[in-house]
Amino acid sequence: MPDITITPLTKMIGAEIGGVDLSKPVDAATREALSQALAEHLALVFHGQNLTPDQYLAAAEAFGPPMRQHYSQHHMPGYPDIGLVWHRNGQAPAERWHTDHTNRERPPAATMLYGVEIPSAGGATSVANMRAAYAALSETERERLDSLRTVNSLDTGKSDTLPEDWDKYSKPIVHPMVRTHPVHGSRAVFFHITKTLYIEGMSPEASRAYLSDLIDRMIRPEITYTHQWRKGDLFVIDDRATMHRAHGDYDRRESRVLWRIIVEGDRPRLV
């Protein structure tokens, strides 16, 4: 195993990983070290990576098998397991706090973003520790959240979803609103506000209002890390205990292009 360094970026979330060149094969010991680091710090930054699409897919295997993403209109040509995050042709930045692909029975364990084209200013990605958010709630509210389940589907407000993606990925999927991390063993709040059709026992309108209020109350600066992109950065986000968001505050005459891979996770459970 190479000499890996793990340097925390904030007190609550994020670590910079040194000593790992992800363009080369990752051995079993390194994979285990990275898995543990992700579970502990919830967001990992690798600077100075130089990856081809094939190398990126191979590197992703360190965290799990790549999952096919919906919104196939944004797949990289020839590489359908890599999504292109670029705000052209009407693709808007995902500026609301969320965790990815909750409409899947086994949502991703992690989202990986690789910086290919970076604007001169702005365009950051923020991530929040939903483990810390859960712990900060009152015991009464934690008990309430432990009893709730969301019904999830594809976002209904997107106009560019292809019919074949809607047919394949819109089947309602039920998940607990609090899940236990399979590696760390801790609990975290888990939902995607625009993929939640409703909370069981609540109307869609009441569900959306409650989830919006939760986000406003839970996500505070002290539990977040904001990543300012450099070309060649690889940013890995643990979807099992975080929410993240993009920042659209950059000059649209400049390019912001990230390659996204999501890796398969487990069925969310509360134990």
Average pLDDT over every residue of 120-148: 97
pLDDT tens-digit profile of 188-201? 999 999 999 999 99
pLDDT tens-digit profile of 169-186? 899 999 999 999 999 999
Residue 159 has pLDDT above 80, yes or no: no
Instruction: Determine the pLDDT at residue 91.
Output: 67
Instruction: Determine the pLDDT at residue 166.
Output: 85
Instruction: Determine the pLDDT at residue 2.
Output: 67
pLDDT tens-digit profile of 211-227? 999 999 999 999 999 99
pLDDT tens-digit profile of 36-78? 999 999 999 999 999 999 999 999 999 999 999 988 888 999 9
Instruction: Determine the pLDDT at residue 160.
Output: 77
Domains and CATH numbers, the chain: 5-264 (3.60.130.10)
In the structure, what pLDDT confidence band is assigned to residue 90 with cuts at 50, 70 and 90?
A: low
pLDDT tens-digit profile of 9-38? 999 999 999 999 999 999 999 999 999 999
Which residues contact residue 245 at a Cβ distance below 8 angstroms, ignoring those fewer than 6 apart? 94, 95, 96, 97, 98, 125, 126
Rounded to 5°, the CA angle 203-132-197 comes to 20
